[in-house]
Amino acid sequence: MKFITKEQMEIVGLRKLWFSIAIAVILIGVAFMFINGFNFDTDFAGGISLQYDLHKTLDKAELDNIREMVNAVDGITVTSVQKSGDDSSSVIIKAADASPEVVEEVYNVLNIAYGAPVVEEEEETADETTDETTDETADETADETADETTDETADETADETTDETVEETADETADETADETADEIVETTPYETTEELETVEITYGGTEPIEVIAESRISASISNEIKRSAVVATVIAVILMLVYITVRFEFRSAIASILCLIHDIIIVIASYAVFGIPVSSNIIAVMLTILGYSINATIILFDRVRENRKKMGRTDFGVVINISARQTLMRSINTTITTLFTIGMIYIFGVHSIKEFALPLIVGILAGLYSSVFLSGSFWYMLSPKNKER
């Protein structure tokens, strides 16, 4: 295949092939958007954010374990889990909206795994309450019985009745009070244990209860504001790039570069649907990074095209683009490979939240390489007057 060799690589002449490949990839991505939809994180869809201090330094394995435990609770879907704090002992869990009962269940599950039970009252309360109730009941019963007994048998009856009543009443009161107090004195977590905990082995993994740092709900209004910020940031970046390339080169080349950026953005957005990546506020950073990376690769090609047009005079513009693409191909590939090495290591060894950021970057960088090499020059050629020679 001659067109894949550097010396005879054809860009403009095979532009229909390159456009077809790009359109096919975009259509597949759009199909996944409609079939799978998007997994919107709490930043975009609203939900809950839970932060707990587990009193333990957390690593990647611990965060994965926490995600599995929380997802096992009925009624909650975790979108992200990340550590925080100076000593990495706190965890921030973001999930779709859940009821207060489910939030309590999440606390209980984590407290069993990383915390310890909480003693609400001291057991001595039961004994003290029993003694006080017995004494008071005995005195009251004795007085009432003695008043009702008259004549010569009053003393004897009072003594017998008092003794029997005091003993019976004291015993009954003591038993009732002890039972009621004992029911209240249980070792438990700050939340009531629900039925789901019956399937979990009650073996506490820490020496003190985990601490609730924050439990908040992200409203739809906040998530809508984040969506607007993402769109505004992307639009402003595209406009500034359009102005810059127009000033440095020409307006037709600026339009060509914007078409390439649209190609890259669509593919990056589609990757969220294809791989089920949660759409969070990270998408803003991903988009801006890809826009900057892709436009830089495109400018490298356009800069070489401008230089070669001056050197080659009236040579066909398509030939100039092909030669320029061959000259910049290895530079673009080497730059991409170097970047992918770094981001690839981040994806392999990073925690789950980092992987959700790195994977769209990898997709976007590959899309940017393709568009800058195979699409940008063809777009510029198509937007220029036919058979224009310089």
Locate 19 and state its tokens. Answer: 């456009």
Q: Confirm if 385 and 310 have CB atoms less than 8 A apart.
A: no
Residues 325 and 375 in one domain: yes
Same structural domain for residues 278 and 372? yes
Q: List the one residue out of 114, 112, 117, 118 whose CA is nearest residue 203.
A: 112
Is residue 390 a part of any domain in this protein?
Answer: no
> Could you give the CA distance from residue 158 to residue 82 in angstroms, rounded to a whole number?
74
Same domain for 205 and 101? yes
- Is residue 87 located within the same domain as residue 113? yes
- Give a yes or no: residue 388 inside a domain: no
Instruction: Note down the domain range covering 171.
Output: 124-185
- pLDDT band of residue 138 (cuts 50, 70, 90) is very low
Is residue 225 located within the same domain as residue 311?
yes
pLDDT value, residue 41: 77
252 in a structural domain: yes
- Of the listed ranges 7-16, 157-166, 207-216, the least confidently predicted one is 157-166
Do 163 and 178 belong to one domain?
yes
- In the predicted model, is pLDDT for residue 169 greater than 70? no
Conformation bin of residue 189: beta by default, left when phi > 0, alpha when psi is -120 to 50: beta
**Mean pLDDT value across residues 247-257:** 89
Query: Is 312 part of any domain?
Result: yes
- Reported as a single tens digit per residue, the pLDDT across 19-48 is 999 999 999 999 999 998 888 777 777 788
Burial (CB count <10 Å: 0-12, 13-18, 19+), residue 378: buried
Q: Taking 60 as the threshold, does the pLDDT of residue 191 lie above it?
A: no
Pairwise pLDDT comparison (15 vs 142), residue with the higher score: 15
The Cα 291–Cα 89 span in angstroms is: 36
Same structural domain, 236 and 253: yes
End-to-end CA separation in angstroms for the chain: 30
Q: Which residues pair with 215 in a beta bridge?
A: 50
Nearest to 115 by CA among 195, 214, 198, 188: 188
CA contacts within 13 A on the Cβ side of 380? 31
pLDDT for position 132: 52
Residues 167 and 259 placed together within one structural domain of the fold = no
Q: Is the pLDDT of residue 390 over 70?
A: no
Interacting residues of 236 by C-beta distance below 8 A, sequence separation 6+? none
Q: List the beta strands (DSSP E) in 145-210.
A: 187-188
End position of a domain, from candidates 165, 185, 205: 185
Does 233 share its domain with 334?
yes
Please check whether residues 85 and 113 belong to one and the same domain. Answer: yes
**Number of compact structural domains in the chain:** 3
pLDDT band at residue 268 under the 50/70/90 scheme: very high
**Residue 86 shares a structural domain with residue 197:** yes
Quick check: helix, strand or coil at residue 82?
A: strand
